[in-house]
Structure 1
Amino acid sequence: MFQLKWLWHNLIGDRARYIIALCLSVIGSSLTIINPYLGQRIVDTFIANDNAMANLTNERGLLIGLCLGMVGFSLLRTGLAYGTTLLYEVASQSMLYRVRIYLYNKIQGQDMSYYDRNRTGDLMTKMTGDLDMVRHTMAWIFKTIIESLTIFVAAVVYFFYIDAELTLWLLILSPPIFIVAFLFAKRVRPMYIDLRERLSQLNTTTQENIAGNRVVKAFAREEFEVEKFTEKNVHYAKANKAAAMVWLDYFPYLETFAQGFNVILMIVGGMLVMDGRLTFGEFSAFSALIWGLSNPMRNIGIIINDIQRFFASLNKIIDIYYSKPGIVNDRNPIEKRRYEGRIAFEHVSFKYDNATVLDDIDFTIEPGETVAIMGATGSGKTSLINLIPRFYDVTAGRVLVDGKDVRGLELGELRANIGVATQDVLLFSDTIDGNIAYGDPEMPEEEVHRFARLAAADAFIRKMPEGYDTIVGERGVGLSGGQKQRIALARALAVKPPILILDDTTSAVDLETEEHIQKSLRELDYSCTKIIIAQRVSTTASADRILILDNGRVIEDGTHAELLAKRGYYYEVFMLQNEGLGRQVTAHGQK
């Protein structure tokens, strides 16, 4: 019932259209008894009647009227069927459009932990195949159920009107058919749930392989990936065949019972005709409408098949529909303000899946200050900066921006004040101009070029076939790692953020280009607090402060010179990167 309430809720705007379609289905299906009735009149009056010849002569107008009536009602049913199908399609497609938009917005509003838990291929399956299964059910399965039920009831009522005894004989087959259908539904339901999961795994494997095709080719792992895909495909095919074979196990019983209606009609109906209790016209009416009993019985298996698929898909959609992010946007200011850029971590701890990532982090960054963060892989650097724009929430302590807990700030406003460029760059399938101006699509072309120059990207962009109008492939295919990083940096700078976070953004550029970028960052024409994650001492040396993380804790905090003097982690990194320059360390620290 909950699923049906969900469907009804999402039919808002098309409820009247859908109800009209249901009513027309009932009316159109009810009209199926008209032609058998008219055929009965023709047989009893003009064929099997003792005065058939006289009736053909004297009541020719009635015969013509009955024949025209059969043609007219056939055309009427055809027209109703066309209009009904159109209404079903319009209503279901409109609902599909609204739900897809809603689900897309819902997914967009989820926090990062949601994407950590859900596979991309699974989300794609929900947004495509599962939604289309719901539309198919609304447009065709429910229509088939209503029409089959209406035809069955109309046929039974008409049969009782003609002869109750023969009708009861025919209905003897109904209980065993329903029992077989119930057993089939009970057995096949979990199989379709498993089938849906295997389809999701297949789509996930496909998506990962396509997204990582360069890595696959770089390691010459095409055969391995083909084998992995084949394995998933085999599992899906087996699950699909198993579900289909279950239907084949029950199909002979349903088909036998459905054909049994004709057998009973021939035996019992024939005896009643011979006894004179049933006219030839009435027997012909039974024969013409017996499909009204047998076809719905045949359709039970197909309907149950699709209904089980429908519920398996709908439950997945509802999972997204009612999912709630842990990080929500509670405030919606009319006008977004620009922050000063003061950041403070007050005894911050952060756990992910019960594993401590950050432990008692406590420091403050003043507006306009440049802070570099270093540390070994897995020390918590990226987790730390993810707490500032609230990609994740702290487990303990507070992260403050301009003296206010980020959990009390409006998310859109907070993130609009933060520019982020990461090492793992994602560029959209758009022009280079469009990628740089992603945060402000109305940005003048001159401004785009200016920020590209600040990121040391203008020179190589102008050498490309169409310059700034060059279309970059998905994820920046066609660009080098350093080029992608510079475009991502230009994109982050283009929104003129008061807080700029760079996560190892210059790791793939040469030292000369890095020096140009560092100079540009120092000479920005707007106030900007910069947090730079880096592994190169050449990047961190000019920072106002340097934080060293180790196992989620700050173990060193100071300037380049101060940390060299401490001869700790930073000193060791400096020595490794400047091997042979040990004698210059002291002098460098005094500068």
Structure 2
Amino acid sequence: MFQFKWLWHNLKGDRVRYIFALCLSVAGCSLTIINPYLSQRIVDEFIAGPDAARNLADGRGLLIALGLGMIGFSLLRTGLAYFTTMLYERASQNMLYRVRIFLYNKIQGQDMRYYDRNRTGDLMTKMTGDLDMVRHTLSWIIKTIIESLTVFLAAVVYFFYIDVELTLWLLILSPPIFLVAFIFARRVRPMYVDLRERLSQLNTITQENIAGNRVVKAFAREEYEIEKFTDKSVNYSKANKAAALVWLDYFPYLEIFSQGFTVILMVAGGLYVMDGRLTFGEFAAFTALIWGLSNPMRSIGIIINDIQRFFASLTKIMDVYYAEPDIVNAHGDRAKRRYQGRIQFENVSFKYDSATVLDNVSFIVEPGETIAIMGATGSGKTTLINLIPRFYDVTKGCVLVDGTDVRKLALNELRGNIGVATQDVLLFSDTIDGNIAYGDPDMPEEDVVEFARLAAAHNFIEKMPEGYDTIVGERGVGLSGGQKQRIALARALAVQPPILILDDTTSAVDLETEEHIQKSLRELEFPCTKIIIAQRVSTTAEADRILILDGGKIVEEGTHAELLKKRGYYYDVFMLQNEGIGREAKVSGQE
């Protein structure tokens, strides 16, 4: 089956260890017939045989040897079992490590569309619970199957050696057991697929609510979220119980058939002993080894349960394993070279699914120029800047950087030349210094301080408990929105990019801080083309050009003064914002 071929492929590096473990399992389980054979000889020669008394008097050495042999083989089997378990664990843990690293790299290499389509909680489930189920399969399920088959075959062979007819009587129960197991497997498999999906939904709800705890508390929706989580948890619990109860439907049949081996042995074997067909020793060997038939049959349901869980988990893992991004680094990693910063959009259109976001957009940004982009919510501003570092690819037209289509540039080189700071700031659970120097971990501390000054962040950082060594909470918890934006801006400036993209980065700062940031951006010591998305006229006023987007199209273009003369969207925004400022000043004067 394909799933087991996948396991074999990913065992590379531990295949010899795993095959050796399988061979030791077969060898160790084959030894199970030794002790019944030794006990047969002891019973026939020293307990129930016609010469038992004479043998007990004259052959005590052999009796002791047989007894010691049973102890020795028991210790040998125990030692082999311990050693093989260590080999299985080593091989499965090594495979788990390799696959987890591969999947993490795979997820990191996916484009933005992949993250748009896949839930974070689902990806986390694949990286944890699903992978551990695969490891469990390799270290326990396959091992159990091999050992159960070996014990079963060894017992059957030995039983045939002793008495063929009695063995056939015992094996008459095997077909109905396998039929019950087959029916059980067909019924339970879709239930585990559904169970896996419900677990994913539960993890997604958990992740979203932990990440969005501030929003939940701000709207006092704790009770609602608890009810929603409880509902998902109840659904998962019901699915789990349903799958377990299916096993209980079939367990009595398997248990009855398994116990039937002992009943047949007692009846048929007892008759054969009475007829003299079997010796007491041979009957004792059958009795000692009957578990070799009954136990594998008894555990077949548990094995099927785990195998179905494995199939459900591995299907989800392979969704990630074989996923290929639409945007790939087809040109390989290249040594970073600094771009001049010329950006050109040529008849660019972009559709997300069936919705048109950008429609035939064309403009040029010269090196060192500052372009401001303004427009209503949903006009396509963020989508437009996402096309420059190739977070998405255009549907039509092309985006060029320094005269080259971005699709022909190496991704690491392209993105290494672009600094990005967005309104939705993500700070890592690290020091403030580590967050600012994220793009260059070896950055000297004095440079970190300088970029923090440029972003108007130095003053408040100095007041933090441990300054630049203050640990920032997850997603920047403990900092205000404006403080997080300024740290994000410092992080973008710290790589000294030839292209700087700011997506409403100063929306949460006061006007005085914004003026300081604007002054810093104008006086950067390195050449930089700047594209700024903003809604404040105070931010866009000093840009070399302003683009107004509406419905995915550029409807206005020009300088601050030129757009005011056109009396369009920009003029309306300017009047609205300045009217508000005027009212505030008037009220302040009256007071």
User: Shorter-chain TM-score: what band?
Assistant: over 0.9
Structure 2 residue 47 is the aligned partner of structure 1 residue 26: no
- The answer (yes or no) to whether the contact 2:343–2:366 under 8 Å persists in 1 is yes
Question: Against the structure 1 CA distance between its residues 209 and 294, is the aligned structure 2 distance closer, same or farther, given a 3 Å change threshold?
Answer: same
When structure 1 is superposed on structure 2, of 46-55 and 549-558 the one drifting more is: 46-55
Match of 2:158 in 1: 158
1:540 & 1:547 partners in 2: Cα distance? 10
The offset of 1:372, in angstroms, is 0.3
TM-superposition CA deviations, 1:349-384 (whole Å, max 9, x none): 000011000000000000000000000000000000
Structure 1 segments, 4+ long, off by >6 Å, are none
TM-superposition CA deviations, 1:363-416 (whole Å, max 9, x none): 000000000000000000000000000000000000000000000000000000
Match of 1:337 in 2: 337
State how 1:313-352 maps to structure 2 within 5 Å: 313-352=313-352
The offset of 1:333, in angstroms, is 4.7
- 2:524 is paired with a residue whose SS is coil
State how 1:74-85 maps to structure 2 within 5 Å: 74-85=74-85
- 1:340 is paired with a residue whose SS is coil
- The answer (yes or no) to whether the contact 2:371–2:532 under 8 Å persists in 1 is yes
Structure 2 residue 304 is the aligned partner of structure 1 residue 304: yes
1:2 & 1:496 partners in 2: Cα distance? 49
- The answer (yes or no) to whether the contact 1:112–1:392 under 8 Å persists in 2 is yes
TM-superposition CA deviations, 1:434-465 (whole Å, max 9, x none): 00000000000000000000000000000000
Q: 5+ unaligned residues in a row in structure 1: which ranges?
A: 583-591
TM-superposition CA deviations, 1:59-115 (whole Å, max 9, x none): 111000000000000000000000000000000000000000000000000000000
The offset of 1:331, in angstroms, is 1.3
The offset of 1:334, in angstroms, is 4.2
- 1:579 is paired with a residue whose SS is helix
2:188 & 2:558 partners in 1: Cα distance? 66
Match of 2:268 in 1: 268
Match of 1:107 in 2: 107
- The answer (yes or no) to whether the contact 1:126–1:313 under 8 Å persists in 2 is yes
- 2:579 is paired with a residue whose SS is coil
Match of 1:94 in 2: 94
Counting matched residue pairs gives 583
AA aligned opposite 1:74: S
Match of 1:282 in 2: 282
1:551 & 1:272 partners in 2: Cα distance? 92
TM-superposition CA deviations, 1:171-200 (whole Å, max 9, x none): 000000000000000000000000000000
AA aligned opposite 1:247: W
2:580 & 2:405 partners in 1: Cα distance? 47
The offset of 1:51, in angstroms, is 1.8
Match of 1:363 in 2: 363
1:103 & 1:491 partners in 2: Cα distance? 28
1:294 & 1:191 partners in 2: Cα distance? 27
Match of 2:419 in 1: 419
- The answer (yes or no) to whether the contact 2:334–2:413 under 8 Å persists in 1 is no
- 1:360 is paired with a residue whose SS is strand
Structure 2 residue 486 is the aligned partner of structure 1 residue 486: yes
Match of 1:587 in 2: none
State the TM-score, normalized to the length of structure 1. Answer: 0.98
Match of 2:41 in 1: 41
Match of 2:532 in 1: 532
Match of 2:392 in 1: 392
1:580 & 1:203 partners in 2: Cα distance? 46
Report percent identity of matched pairs: 82
TM-superposition CA deviations, 1:218-248 (whole Å, max 9, x none): 1110000000000000100000000000000
AA aligned opposite 1:241: K
The offset of 1:50, in angstroms, is 1.8
Match of 2:515 in 1: 515
The offset of 1:332, in angstroms, is 2.3
- 2:384 is paired with a residue whose SS is helix
Match of 1:189 in 2: 189
2:218 & 2:579 partners in 1: Cα distance? 32
Match of 1:589 in 2: none
2:482 & 2:389 partners in 1: Cα distance? 25
- The answer (yes or no) to whether the contact 1:348–1:360 under 8 Å persists in 2 is yes
AA aligned opposite 1:125: T
- The answer (yes or no) to whether the contact 1:195–1:236 under 8 Å persists in 2 is yes
Structure 2 residue 141 is the aligned partner of structure 1 residue 116: no
- The answer (yes or no) to whether the contact 2:547–2:558 under 8 Å persists in 1 is yes
AA aligned opposite 2:134: V
AA aligned opposite 2:413: E
Match of 1:207 in 2: 207
Structure 2 residue 249 is the aligned partner of structure 1 residue 249: yes
- 2:502 is paired with a residue whose SS is strand
TM-superposition CA deviations, 1:305-344 (whole Å, max 9, x none): 0000000000110110000000000112542211000000
State the TM-score, normalized to the length of structure 2. Answer: 0.98
Match of 2:585 in 1: none
- The answer (yes or no) to whether the contact 2:48–2:281 under 8 Å persists in 1 is yes
- The answer (yes or no) to whether the contact 2:345–2:363 under 8 Å persists in 1 is yes
2:202 & 2:78 partners in 1: Cα distance? 42
TM-superposition CA deviations, 1:127-161 (whole Å, max 9, x none): 00000000001000000000000000000000000
Match of 2:66 in 1: 66
- The answer (yes or no) to whether the contact 1:421–1:489 under 8 Å persists in 2 is yes
Match of 1:574 in 2: 574
The offset of 1:54, in angstroms, is 1.1
2:10 & 2:334 partners in 1: Cα distance? 30
- The answer (yes or no) to whether the contact 1:575–1:581 under 8 Å persists in 2 is no
- The answer (yes or no) to whether the contact 1:430–1:473 under 8 Å persists in 2 is yes
The offset of 1:53, in angstroms, is 1.4
- The answer (yes or no) to whether the contact 2:151–2:292 under 8 Å persists in 1 is yes
Aligned CA RMSD, in angstroms, stands at: 0.9
